[in-house]
Amino acid sequence: MNPKLNILRTFLLLALWIPLLAPAATFLIEDIRVEGLQRISPGTVFNYLPVKIGQRVEADDTGAIIRALYETGFFSDVGLERRGNELVISVSERPAIGQIVIEGNAALETENLLFALKEIGLAEGRVFNRSVLDKIEQELRRQYFNQGRYGVKVESKVEPLERNRVAVKIDIAEGEIARIKRINIVGNQAFSKDRLLDEFSLGTTNWWSFMSKADRYSRQALGGDLETLRSFYLDRGYINFKVESTQVSITPDKRFIYITINLSEGAVYTIGDIKLAGELAAPKEEIVPLIRLNRGEVFSRKEVVAASDRITGLLGDRGYAFANVNSIPEIDEVNKKVAVTYFVDPGKRVYVRRVNIGGNANTRDEVLRREMRQLESAWFSSEQVRLSRERLQRLGYFEEVNIETPAVAGSTDQVDVNINVVERPAGNLMAGVGFSQSEGFVFNTSISQNNFLGSGKRVSLAFNNSDSNTEYRLAYTNPYYTVDGVSRGFDVRYRSTDFAEDEVADYVTDVASAGMNFGVPINEFDRIRFDLTVSNTDFKPGATASAEVLQFMEDYGDNFLDYSLGMSWTHDSRDSYLFPKRGGLQSFSATATVPGSDLNYYKAAYKNRHYFPLTDFFTLSLNGEVGYGDGYGDNEKLPFFQNYYAGGIRSVRGYKAYSLGPRDSTDDPLGGNMKVVGNLELLFPPPFGGGENTSVRMGAFVDAGNVYDTDIDTFDAGEVRYSSGLALTWVSPIGVLGVTYAEPLNDEYGDETESFQFTFGQTF
């Protein structure tokens, strides 16, 4: 009901009531009766009444009574009447919502809509209010407008039900998404329209629009693009740049949108002078190199602000947690120059009173504290706080790591570092079945505890089985064998490999090994590891073994006890373990058997994979691998069962797994003592998921590589095999699925090609 009509009705009731009370200015309420109730109990009404039995009522009190009942929202009409000393209240209840039906919505899920309606006040069981329904219709239109559906139609109907209830039906005709047909820029002289539009997130329809949705107009996106345009000009010296106006028009059929932007560029300004002012709190010789601006060069707001941030960061690392560095420009309109003054206000130097840890119900405090780089009673350092958070995240024990640095109450030079973590299950009992084209069906099971009893130690017991491999393993690692972060681990395993199942040379190796390793941290990203391993290899040639296999057994026997030493270096700066977008992973490893072993050989390998973010959607991945091995002493060459292989989904896709390189006398792949592999891949999210899918990633790639036997021939770049294709990786609930389709680019006679390749299961 219209609020104005309610107010008028109230005044009319008051006008009628006052004469009734006029003979006696007041009366004592001996009873209160409520008439017209259907769903609402009398007790509810009495709770809201400003009067009660035994109280005297004056004529002026009637307005307060009626107003109090109206404000409950339960009633559409309220009347008062005096019968002797009895107060009679007549009400008409608003109907309750008995049912909500939404039809025609495909772009917005019904469940989400019902939740949103409930938040606003429209839900089954609640009192119906028509004004709320009108607001909901407006909000629904706004939501669809944000999606670019300007032809949306929202109609609501209210149908009466029994027991003073109503059914609310909302019919939605979503319409088509309006696409941006053209973006015009007027007034640009220094830069072309195409160059400026490259800075926009919005754009006209192209082949990538189905994923990027850049051709869908929204006011917020246009506002962001205009700010980006302003920054573009300010970073190139156009101090007086302005967007004069913007016009957005839509075609009558609401299918296409035209945008026109009128701008004024102004003149280019250069840097005239650079000054430092205020209390520097650090040697000037350290601050000046952080500015990185030169007199006479074109003014750039981006570089000016970046210099302020660098100075602030320097002071923050020196304990000035609340330092403030302002860049103050002075514009010379005559000479078109800008003098920049950096005013430094360091504030008080701050130190950390306490490091407080919370949320670690299972993990011991010491496991977190040993990763902290910001220490108690030390000067506060923003860089050390950032490194502390990263180290805690890399542990893998926590789903979330939040760090806050509140000021200590009553102190101007102290802060606390409050760490709150959300633990993830540290134990993992896993059993899985997978399939790999190179290994066949794979069964694996493992019990692992990455944070054993909350101590940070890692313990695992695993069993894996496939057509070509059977493996048992028990491993233990203490990442903090010493307080300096030196790790120590033990690894005991048995592995039986039937190489004939992988369609390479016909032989079987049974290897039992036990090893110890130590890891030494060099810095936040680098680590060196040392290994000592004792292994026993039982070598068995197959029924169709080649001459090379039989000759090796004749020369060296079929059982070998070896002692090997290994060293590796790893540098890991990736921003994510699974789907990185920036950073890289480098490693160099070298292993050699020591004198006294039955076999004398060494192997060395270098790998470097780096990720470069091109846009929000595209990431460029470059990978290079080089491996080399050889024999020494009594062994003239690397034992062939230690050879490198190439081909397959993990190296050069499009060629059958392990098939590249030298072959034996039976024309089976034998591998080689040298391996060279390179990959270039453009990674991007799938078309579905709006570019935010975190479990699926696609890629377009070019692979190159081969293996060589340098005892027979030297490295020949002409023998490198190339392929290109598409790849998809899906982290499914039961394992990782990898699928590639590749075509060899320079395969030769005798090469085994395989365009479609996949692997499924935990072994990927």
Q: For residues 196 and 188, is the Cβ–Cβ distance under 8 A?
A: yes
Q: CA torsion, points 80, 82, 83, 84, in degrees to nearest 10? A: 160
Contacts of 409 (CB under 8 A, 6+ apart): none
Q: For residues 197 and 177, is the Cβ–Cβ distance under 8 A?
A: no
Q: Is the pTM of this model over 0.75?
A: no
Q: Helices 284-291 and 301-317: crossing angle, nearest 10°?
A: 150
Instruction: Assess if CATH 3.30.70.100 describes domain 179-264.
Output: no
HEC states along 40-99?
CCHHHHHHHCCCCCCCEEECCHHHHHHHHHHHCCCEEEEEEEEECCEEEEEEEECCEEEE
Cα distance between residue 685 and residue 211, in whole Å:
9
CA 316-318-324 angle, 5° bins: 40
What CATH class does 270-345 carry?
alpha beta
The phi and psi torsions of 671 (rounded to 5 degrees) equal: 80, 180
Q: Among residues 360, 364, 573, which one has the least CA distance to residue 480?
A: 364
Helix, strand, coil percent content, the chain, rounded in steps of 5: 20, 45, 35
Cα distance between residue 589 and residue 730, in whole Å:
30
What CATH class does 351-423 carry?
alpha beta
HEC states along 325-351?
EEEEEEEECCCCEEEEEEEEECCCCCE
Q: Helices 110-120 and 130-146: crossing angle, nearest 10°?
A: 130
Greatest CA separation found in the chain?
130
Q: Among residues 494, 487, 529, 528, which one has the least CA distance to residue 511?
A: 494
Q: What is the DSSP string of 339-391?
A: EEEEEEE-----EEEEEEEES-SSS-HHHHHTT-SSPTTSBP-HHHHHHHHHH
HEC states along 453-477?
HHCCCEEEEEEEEECCEEEEEEEEE
Residues forming CATH 2.40.160.50 domain(s) in the chain: 499-508+515-526+542-557+564-761
Tell me the average confidence (pLDDT) per consecutive run of 10 residues in the chain, 764 residues long: 51 48 63 84 85 83 84 82 86 84 83 78 78 80 80 86 85 85 93 92 76 78 92 94 93 89 94 91 90 92 93 89 90 93 91 90 86 88 86 78 89 89 62 43 56 79 70 88 89 85 76 94 90 92 84 88 95 79 91 93 95 88 95 89 89 88 86 94 77 75 94 84 92 71 90 80 40
Specify the residue for token string 């996949």.
Answer: 758
The phi and psi torsions of 337 (rounded to 5 degrees) equal: -130, 155
Residues forming CATH 3.10.20.310 domain(s) in the chain: 3-93, 96-173, 179-264, 270-345, 351-423
Give CA separation, 344 vs 294, 339, 340, 381, in Å.
19, 16, 13, 18
Predicted pLDDT at 445: 56
CATH architecture assignment, domain 96-173: Roll (3.10)
**Two structure tokens written together for 52:** 């009660």
**Two structure tokens written together for 78:** 């309220």
CATH architecture assignment, domain 499-508+515-526+542-557+564-761: Beta Barrel (2.40)
CATH of domain 3-93: 3.10.20.310
Predicted pLDDT at 74: 82
Predicted pLDDT at 467: 61
Predicted pLDDT at 591: 96
